[in-house]
Amino acid sequence: MLNRIIAILVARNKEFVRDRGTLAWNFILPIFLLVGFSFMFGGDGKALYKIGVLTGEKIDIKEFQSDFLNLKHIEQVKYTDLKSAILKVDQHKIDLLVDFANKQYWINETSSKGYIAENLLLAKHKDFEVQKTSGKAVRYVDWVMPGILGMNMMFSCLFGVGYVIVRYRKNGVLKRFQATPLTAFEFLSAQVLSRLSIVLIVTVILFVGSNLILDFYVLGSSFDLFIVALVGATSLISLSLLIASISHSEELVGGLLNMVSWPMMFLSGVWFSLEGAHPYVQQAASVLPLTHILQAARAITTDGVALAGVQSHLYILIAMTIVFLSLGSWLFDWGSERT
């Protein structure tokens, strides 16, 4: 059994490497997008000052009667957890964190906007004690990086497997496999391992290469990111195998793959956060594999969360993989009745 799986795995990898156009596109597209977004959104962003206010669970910001908070062009954000709020200061996501109850504030020493916000605060509250922090700003390119790599992974997993199997079925290759001891489970397992190895190698090379140029903000473990990519890619490949198992023409599989990939590209948070979206949109996004991949990856990169903190996303992806592979193996058709 193992020898048959390895034989199919090696043959599929050779087929992919020999397709120079597809191989090049897997590298060129994400690099182009990352470099483009780094130039487009590489500035300091909006001129609005964002001030974090440390409060209790049931305390409204409006209860703090402060001339400072009443200044124009200041946005106020409520925080109840001190540790997470200080992290926002470290990452330049807020310019200043103020605790009016204890008359103290936190400022990032490297933030130019924080310097101005501090002087505005001290003009109204001269007796406040300062707590200084330091940290690198999270740019838009840092936030969008998991989305672009995840989108590239999604297209590679879905279209790199679905079209291949349908082409095999259409050309009668699957008929020949059916005449061998190879089972549907062994064939699909080899396809999963083949595409998984290719996707992970490409993603790692893209991440390392782009990081050398753009110097991404990665607060968590790179190994944890790799585990998320491994589990996520397996889920996407399994979904593609399920679609290919029930499709018998390239036109049909193309339509089905587009019907699956486009909602993921726009609803999974590739380009923008879904925090302010309608609850129905967030619920719809929660059934998409790419949503859980990106939420787990961003929690690791920007918040420094370990695998234990994203285990719910991993469990959902693993469950999706089991369901997709089981249905794909059960519904798989070698093409003997249609081709």
Give yes or no for a contact between 291 and 269, defined as CB atoms under 8 angstroms apart. yes
Backbone φ and ψ of 174, nearest 5°: -65, -30
User: In the sheet that 96-99 helps form, which strands lie side by side, from edge to edge?
Assistant: 74-79, 49-54, 96-99, 104-108, 129-133
Look at residue 26 in the predicted model and tell me its pLDDT. 65
Q: Whole-angstrom Cα distance, residue 326 to residue 318?
A: 12
Q: pLDDT by residue (tens digit) across 6-61?
A: 887 788 777 767 766 566 666 666 676 666 556 545 555 454 688 888 886 555 55
For residue 141, the one-letter residue type is: V
Query: Percent of the chain beyond pLDDT 90?
Result: 14
Q: pLDDT by residue (tens digit) across 103-121?
A: 888 898 878 788 888 888 8
Residue with tokens 């190895």: 197
The chain-wide mean pLDDT, for the chain, equals: 80
Per-residue CA distances from 119 to 27, 116, 141, 223 (Å): 47, 5, 30, 41
Residue with tokens 């020898």: 3
> What is the pTM assigned to this prediction?
0.67
Look at residue 59 in the predicted model and tell me its pLDDT. 55
- Which segments within 126-254 are labelled E, that is strand? 129-133
Q: Cβ of 69: how many Cβ atoms within 10 Å?
A: 17
Look at residue 29 in the predicted model and tell me its pLDDT. 63
Give yes or no for a contact between 139 and 41, defined as CB atoms under 8 angstroms apart. yes
pLDDT category of residue 162 using cuts at 50, 70 and 90: confident
